[in-house]
Structure 1
């Protein structure tokens, strides 16, 4: 398959990869055959983690206060409201 030449600490190595099946490779180093298991590193994802803080809930923002302004209806248009066609509780 592939042929490599390595020099490690002054020693020359003649390496030939004879077969590669999945995570197991058969190699020949200076005439001696070896079975080598290949372990690959799992690279960490560079996607940042999104951390969100909880939004505090507003207290009593949905409660209508009972006062004199409850019976006043204000409209964004000028004019007079003559009639409301609703009943109490609608």
Structure 2
């Protein structure tokens, strides 16, 4: 099991546009209720989440928005084919 604190910290540094891109990359692979929450946020980003939805977002969705790079200690956007830290481009 991965230590989610590091992933949460990295994901909190994403701007809203990067969070949206990460959710678009993840939504089709996610289980419920995470997928439903992501679909809601993608369709209506200004609509607030319920406390229960916010908890799922904070504990499960947010940490999954970033992935550890395979060649450096940095993080890249989930589903992205490029690491900005070390300039590695992954296969598509």
User: What's the TM-score once normalised by structure 1's chain length?
Assistant: 0.19
- Identify, as 1 or 2, the structure richer in strand: 1
The higher relative CO (CA closer than 8 Å, separation ≥ 6) is in: 2
Q: Which has the larger radius of gyration?
A: 1
- Identify, as 1 or 2, the structure richer in helix: 2
